[in-house]
Each structure stands twice: as C-alpha cells, then as structure tokens.
C-alpha cells in the first residue's frame, strides 16, 4: 500500500548530484531538512533563535512552516495545479503524445485526490503526502487498472514532488543564504566598528598620556627658565 521514495533509488547512483538528491529525500521524509528549527535545536553555527528569517513573522521555521511561509512564491495548491500543466508540457517536449492523453484523462482526478484529507497525516490534505514523499497508492490505483496509466500517474506525482522542492525548498535555501550573508556582513561591520572604537579610545588615552608628559616638559621648562632668572 505504501511505497515511499523508491522510484529513483532503483539504480545504483553515485554522482554528487544523486547523493545530494538522496540526502534531500531522506531528510525531507524525516522532516529533518536543515530549517532554523532543526539547526537551533542542534545548536549549529551559533544560530540565535529558531525564527523564520524570510517572513519575519516571529514564527519558528519548522518543516511545516517552510512549505507555507508567506515568502514562498506560490501556495501549495497553486504549485500542484501548475505542476500538472508543466508535466504535460514536459511530455509534449519529449513527444510522448499517448502519455499526454492518459494524463488528460486523469489530471482532474489527480487534483481532486490531492485536495482530499490525508488518512495518515492529521489535519492535512494529501498534498502533504507528496511534500513528505510518501506515495499512498490506494486512491490513485482506483483511477485505472491499466499498468501504463498507473505509471504515468506515478510519474506525474514524482514530477509534482520535484516541483515543490524546486519552487519552495531551493529558493528558500538561496534566500536564507543571501540573508545570512547580509547578517554576516553586518556582524563583521559591528566587529570592525567596535575595534575602531577601541582604537579611538586607545588614541585618546595615548594623547592624554602624551599631553601630560608634554605638560611636564613645559613645567620643567618653565621651572628651568624661572631658576635661570634668579
Ligand atoms: Zn516564514
């Protein structure tokens, strides 16, 4: 009944890209992608809190929040619908004319199924099953008995899974990296400013010291002059 993440693991793959992809799939399935909530819990990189940097809503950047953060370019529902259209374009680009007609027979049902409540994830629709990468085929298999058609439906499901990653997780990582860089620069500036202030303090102390020595010389000089006049 439950067949999770098996599709792309079938062949032995060893390129860096595949390793990264596999790592993403596993961490994502376990909800252990390096969001700020996870990093903060593990005390990584001196992170100061678990809040979402992107929306600034003072909400913890949990795995769930990351998918629905208002900084995302689109809602889950919109991405799911657009992904099915994109999948059709992909089939067209690859001259898979028969597969397009299979997809057209089922695309509305696929969306309907995705919007139904999930049986395994509490208070979530089945889109969240795709987000986790858990393919529950009970409803999908009822759409058709033909193996080839089932294959296209599963392929479409995988396509949507990747679209969520490419349109939410990936841009999220780019944006966080950008924000972290700005914060890093700000921290560096702050350090530089503090150092400058310390240097200025040292300069002032040195000036005072020189000043008092100079004063001393003046006094001695005056004293010297005075003695000479007597
Ligand atoms: Zn957010």
Residue 160 belongs to some domain of the structure: yes
- Looking at per-residue pLDDT, the higher value among 18 and 215 belongs to 18
Instruction: Specify the number of domains making up the chain.
Output: 1
Give 219 Cα–ligand 1 centroid separation in angstroms: 68
pLDDT 10s digits, 112-138 = 999 999 999 999 999 999 999 999 988
- Report which secondary-structure segment, H or E, holds 89: helix 76-93
Residue 13 belongs to some domain of the structure: no
Give 173 Cα–ligand 1 centroid separation in angstroms: 12
Residue 145 belongs to some domain of the structure: yes
Residue 86 belongs to some domain of the structure: yes
Give 54 Cα–ligand 1 centroid separation in angstroms: 5
Backbone angles phi, psi at 110, to 5 degrees: -60, -45
Residue 203 belongs to some domain of the structure: no
pLDDT 10s digits, 151-206 = 999 999 999 999 999 999 999 999 999 999 998 877 778 778 778 877 877 777 77
| CA–CA separation, 164 and 184 (whole Å) | 29
Mean pLDDT value across the chain: 86
Give 21 Cα–ligand 1 centroid separation in angstroms: 24
Give 34 Cα–ligand 1 centroid separation in angstroms: 14
Residue 200 belongs to some domain of the structure: no
DSSP 168-199: IIHHHHHHHHHHHHHHHHHHHHHHHHHHHHHH
- Looking at per-residue pLDDT, the higher value among 148 and 223 belongs to 148
Question: Would you state the pLDDT for residue 194?
Answer: 79
Give 58 Cα–ligand 1 centroid separation in angstroms: 8
DSSP 8-state secondary structure symbol assigned to residue 118: P
Residue 33 belongs to some domain of the structure: yes
- Looking at per-residue pLDDT, the higher value among 199 and 51 belongs to 51
Question: Would you state the pLDDT for residue 173?
Answer: 96
Residue 144 belongs to some domain of the structure: yes
- Residues spanned by the domain of 131: 20-183
Give 13 Cα–ligand 1 centroid separation in angstroms: 34
């Amino acid at each position: 009944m439950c067949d999770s993440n098996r599709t792309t693991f079938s062949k032995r793959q060893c390129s860096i890209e595949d390793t990264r992809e596999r790592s993403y799939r596993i961490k994502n399935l376990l909800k252990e992608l390096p969001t700020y909530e996870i990093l903060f819990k593990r005390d990584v990189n001196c992170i100061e809190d678990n809040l979402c940097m992107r929306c600034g809503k003072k909400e913890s950047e949990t795995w769930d929040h990351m998918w629905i953060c208002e900084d995302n370019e689109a809602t889950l529902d919109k991405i799911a619908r657009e992904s099915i259209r994109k999948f059709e374009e992909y089939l067209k680009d690859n001259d898979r004319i028969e597969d397009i007609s299979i997809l057209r027979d089922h695309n509305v049902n696929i969306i309907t199924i995705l919007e139904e409540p999930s049986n395994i994830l509490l208070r979530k629709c089945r889109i969240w099953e795709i987000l986790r990468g858990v393919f529950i085929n009970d409803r999908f298999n009822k759409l058709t008995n033909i193996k080839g058609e089932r294959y296209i439906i599963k392929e479409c499901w995988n396509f949507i899974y990747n679209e969520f990653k490419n349109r939410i997780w990936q841009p999220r990582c780019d944006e966080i990296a950008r924000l972290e860089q700005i914060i890093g620069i700000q921290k560096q500036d702050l350090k530089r400013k503090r150092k400058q202030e310390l240097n200025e303090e040292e300069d002032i102390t040195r000036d005072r010291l020189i000043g008092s020595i100079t004063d001393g010389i003046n006094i001695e000089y005056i004293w010297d002059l005075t003695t000479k006049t007597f």
